[in-house]
Chains A and B, each alone.
Chain A
Amino acid sequence: MLTKKITRQELLIIAASRQIQNGDVSILGIGLPIIAGAVAKKTHAPEAVLMMESGICDFEPRVLPMHVADASATRGYGYATDLFSVFSTITYAGYLDKAFLGVGQIDKFGNINTSYLGTPPEAPRISAAGGAPEFYGYAKKTILTMKGGQFVNKLPYLTSPGYLGGGSEREDSGRYTPGSGPSILLTPKGIFKFDEETKEMYLDALFPGVPVETVKADVPWDLKVADNLGSFPVPTDEEIKALREFSPRASFSSPVAVQLVFENFKRRIAAKKAAQKAAQK
């Protein structure tokens, strides 16, 4: 049941959170994935094993981490290992159920660019590969999220291979965990899935209030649309409470959140100065 007012950002987080099942071994990146994981762990998936690639495994999300080795995730975690082990003994060895990856640019077969908008060294940078190519290659399922990214026909730089040229190309190459690859893409406009045969991306559900045409306008190819378009899952009060307890700022868009944090910081400094003045008198 939902009785609270919720924001667009919250709806997207809850949609991601629902992708984690109880008992899943999941790797979480900074930002939306970690918040989604925290909500899942506090609600429907208390036995989910949440990990970050620095080797902090089976942790209890308490405070929003700023990076994947953040000390705030080390109060009470079950398995202290390292990055090499996360990728080898856990991921490549076949024990990683879910990976969450952020997208810069994506093509119709789920190949991803997070590196350069062209050919280096002259091209502008997006960021870089991080852990994405290997998690994408060997997690049993990958959940993609894209905020402010782009759909493109041809990636100028392919950082993390998805279904390559589509069809069975990924499977046939023998380089990936069988059955792996992107299972879903979540954006502030819709939910996308991949056709079982062709591996081509299609629109599966619409964000509330967003028409199909708006989604299609972002996509440079003729986007296929599911016969029965679904909708985003409706959050429960319990989920929204868990989300806000974990990260109050996650309810806002990132510029607004940054502004709110900055204003709080300014108030704090002003209060300190006022107290100093009062003490001098």
Chain B
Amino acid sequence: MSDKSGSKVMTTKEAISKFVNDGDSLITGNYNESMPMSLLFEIIRQKKRGLTYYSQSGSFDGEFMAYSGCMEKMVSAFIYKWGGSKRGGIIEQYQRAGKIQVEDYTNFTYNARLAAGAFGYSYLPVLPAIMDSDVFKIRGFMGDKKFGVTTCPFTGKKTPVVPAANPDVCVLHVQRADKFGNAQHWGGLGSTVHACLASKIIIVSCEEIVEPDIIKSSPHHTIVPGFRVSAVIEEPFGCHPFEIVGFRGLDTAMFSLINQAFKIDGGMDAFFDEWIYGLSDRASYIQHYIEVFGQDMLSRYNARSYYSAPANYGIPFQSGWDINGISNDIGVDMEGLEALIAEKGELVDVN
């Protein structure tokens, strides 16, 4: 039996302390949207150190991971300078000062490393234009192993390749999951599926834990199967201030506050003390938000429902027998079957 069978429901604190170790490589599964902020805040609170952090998208998660001191190395495809053009970004400052190392990929080559990891390949071809780019030519801590070049055995063409990435831990926030970890997510998926499936441990937080029946009637929304998941946490607002389709939009009020924190002296320390270190969990974070901004502000970003048309997964027979108890193919009831077995079956004596 898999060590990942059965219920995996636990708290954010438990999941992070159990599954994230100093020196791990850690990836944020979500791409720009529904970022797993509750899980990342807990990693910061638990002061994990020496992490290699994979984050594709240039959101402030990377800046936070650098500023917290959790992150030693970063792999990314886009880095936004949250402090603005004058002050610069935290990742930028730390990289220039040699406090962290950053390896730059493009969105596709970053994703291709995870796809290779997810498929179990050791490398994957990428698009040849990259060979003319300094993203290919200039190497950071990956050195010779950032990219390779191979020859296609069929066309003879030189083909750039990337090595597989298999992060130790993936943190992910989704709309819903069951207790087994079957996780459903919809919206701008980016490289989320490959990020999850490439990783050894997957921690899922979700807006709601639902009955397995809900999952079974909408399997097209399941992006990670339960047998790959190590922890499931019901964490409403787990991605706040980021949006999550069907629940709420990006909270621009909170984003303004974070933007300010990046741009004033002492702003980051104050923000970390007030919103991360000073609050024990997500519930108290949301409580604090309501105290500061008011319930009205929080509710302002609620999604107005727009339901997907249900897909009809119906089939004609629910077993080998129809609703009257008659076999679908032989045309007899159970008694009739036993009579046929006695008459025509190749009987075997096992007593």
Contact = CB atoms under 8 A, between A and B. Distances in A.
Interface of A: 52-56, 66-76, 80-84, 87-88, 92, 115, 119-125, 127-134, 136-138, 157-161, 164, 173-176, 261-262, 265, 268, 272
Which 6 A-B pairs have CB atoms at the shortest separation, nearest pair first?
A69-B188, A137-B129, A54-B188, A69-B32, A161-B132, A175-B128
A122 B93 CA distance: 9
Between A68, A124, A125, A261, the greatest number of chain B beta carbons within 10 A of the residue's beta carbon is seen for: A125
B191 A128 contact: no
Interface residues of B, number: 64
Contact of A53 (B79, B107, B134, B244): B107
A219 to B, nearest CB: 22
A83 B31 CA distance: 9
A111 to B, nearest CB: 9
Interface string B233-276: 00000000001110001101101100000000000000000000
A121 B140 contact: yes
Interface stretch (B17-25, B63-71, B97-105, B310-318): B97-105
B98 A121 contact: yes
B220 to A, nearest CB: 9
Contacts of A80: 186, 189
B290 interface: no
B95 A128 contact: no
Interface in B41-96: 57-59, 76-81, 88-89, 91-92, 95-96
5 contacts: A54-B32, A129-B78, A158-B133, A164-B132, A174-B128
Nearest to B294: A272
Contacts of A67: 32-33, 57, 59
A70 B250 contact: yes
Contact of B133 (A75, A92, A129, A272): A129
A161 B96 contact: no
B108 A83 contact: yes
A76 B129 contact: no
Contact of A175 (B102, B129, B138, B255): B129
Interface in B320-346: none
B37 interface: no
Contact of B138 (A73, A84, A119, A131): A119
A121 B303 CA distance: 42
B190 A133 contact: no
B347 to A, nearest CB: 55
Interface string B274-315: 000000000000000000001011000001001000000000
Contact of B96 (A72, A82, A83, A123): A123
A129 to B, nearest CB: 4
